[in-house]
Amino acid sequence: MRIGILGAGGMADALGTQWARAGHEVLISGRDLARSTAQAERMTSHATATPTHPPRSAIRGEVADVRVRGAVRGEVADVRAVRAGSWAAAAEFGDVVMVAVRQAGVTDVLRAAGAAMRGKPVIDVSNAEGPGGYDPARPLAGLIHELTGGHVVKAFNLCHVDVWRMTPPVFDGRPLAVPLCGDDPAALVAVRTLVTDLGCTPVDGGGLDRAVLLEATAAFMIGLWFSGADAQAVLPPLAHSGAHQP
Ligand SMILES: NC(=O)c1ccc[n+]([C@@H]2O[C@H](COP(=O)([O-])OP(=O)(O)OC[C@H]3O[C@@H](n4cnc5c(N)ncnc54)[C@H](OP(=O)(O)O)[C@@H]3O)[C@@H](O)[C@H]2O)c1
């Protein structure tokens, strides 16, 4: 898959490196081409140097890609060099485009990226910034949908960037589950593949109208984490959720 990333910061680095390692083609973008190019070179060397894990989508045969099949045999995938370009270049390049810029820059970046994302799968990882930054009346996913005309899928916003660097993110033997909110079936298929390529399990979170709930969840959980509380401890296991008999 060709993945264009609007952003050259932490999330672009963490997720883009994982996807390059899994054999995808990645192009990142930032405000300064020299800085983004240096970042792309670091991503290429990390993707090449770090051992890969078997991408689950490849195990299930969803990805017909010889480079990824190589990774299943425990070999290092044929990593293509991560590239850097302008915002518009990343929007043009991607079969899938990920928006990974700070809230303050979203509108300007998407305007600069132009019309190329119309009708494409667009991954939105964004969260509101700072206390008071979250406004339930103005979901970031809705703004990104309006400005791009893309098939937006909200994903990857619930965990800190360091979790997305883990190969794979597994806690107490349980692979991390990643909820996806989006409306377009083809876009959801593409993003599910990218989730499984991290060694994670995709979870259906409903339509894009529910992305606001993912944004609210992140705002609430981040508040708990910063106050020193274990956000996971506030939720019961599935058997005690009320939806299933223990
Ligand atoms: N970090 C996390 O743990 C985490 C976890 C989940 C979700 N997220 C969300 O993911 C998105 C990206 O986060 P990140 O951690 O990758 O951020 P970051 O490391 O600070 O990178 C931000 C990117 O946004 C670009 N940008 C464009 N306009 C900007 C502006 N006006 N002000 C600041 N940056 C601007 C930056 O460009 P330059 O490259 O030119 O600086 C950079 O590429 C955010 O919405 C964040 O809420 C972050």
H/E/C letters for each residue in 12-70?
HHHHHHHHHHCCCEEEEECCCHHHHHHHHHHHHHHHHHCCCCCCHHHHCCCCCCHHHHH
- Alpha carbon 223 to chain centroid, angstroms: 21
With cut-offs at 50, 70 and 90, classify the pLDDT of residue 51: low
Residue 234 domain-assigned? no
pLDDT tens, residue by residue, 161-189: 999 999 999 999 999 999 999 999 999 99
Residue 38 domain-assigned? yes
Q: Which residues line the pocket of ligand 1, CB cutoff 6 A?
A: 7-12, 30-32, 100-105, 109, 125-127, 157, 160-161
Residue 212 domain-assigned? yes
Number of folded domains that form the chain = 1
Residue 72 domain-assigned? yes
Residue 245 domain-assigned? no
Q: Is 242 left (phi over 0), alpha (psi -120 to 50) or beta?
A: left
pLDDT tens, residue by residue, 87-101: 999 999 999 999 999
- Ligand 1 binding pocket mutation candidate from 101, 154, 176 (most atoms within 8 A of CB): 101
Residue 90 domain-assigned? yes
With cut-offs at 50, 70 and 90, classify the pLDDT of residue 64: very low
Task: Please state, for a pLDDT cut of 90, what percent of the chain lies above it.
Answer: 81
Residue 29 domain-assigned? yes
Q: How confident is the model over 131-160, as a mean pLDDT?
A: 94
The CA 105 to ligand 1 mean position distance, Å, reads 8
Instruction: Read off the CATH number of the domain in which 182 is found.
Output: 3.40.50.720
Show the domain range for 210.
2-229
Atom of ligand 1 nearest to the CA of 12: 16
Residue 235 domain-assigned? no
Query: Is the pLDDT higher at 210 or at 60?
Result: 210
